[in-house]
Amino acid sequence: MLIAASVLTVLIAAAHSYLGERYILVRLFRQSLPKLFGSDHFTRQTLRFAWHLTSVTWIGIAALFILLHFELATQTNILYILGTTFSVSALVSLIASRGKHLSWLVFGSVAALCFGYTIVA
């Protein structure tokens, strides 16, 4: 059952990113958006990466389903999955915003704390 949940979660993540990019974000970007840092580029990129971070999170959840299915859900393994999910979120935020959106600092800090706890524990 959890494998099926994992597969469905990955499929919905892929559909969410693809369909959202193709049908929602494109139409949204035709609208007048707030101009931050001198243009609407930052606003567009923030909306885009925030949209796709939902999919990244769902893929992290799918990985947790796999751990649970195979009874590998130790504290360390869960923290690795969460650390990886937050690391990817930090990279997406950092790259998409060119470092202007400071969420990458928070996501990166959460990832470091997850990985750091596995070392200390």
Neighbouring C-alpha atoms within 13 Å toward the C-beta of 81: 18
Quick: pLDDT tens for 63-113. Answer: 999 999 999 999 999 999 999 999 999 999 999 999 999 999 999 999 999
> pTM for this structure?
0.93
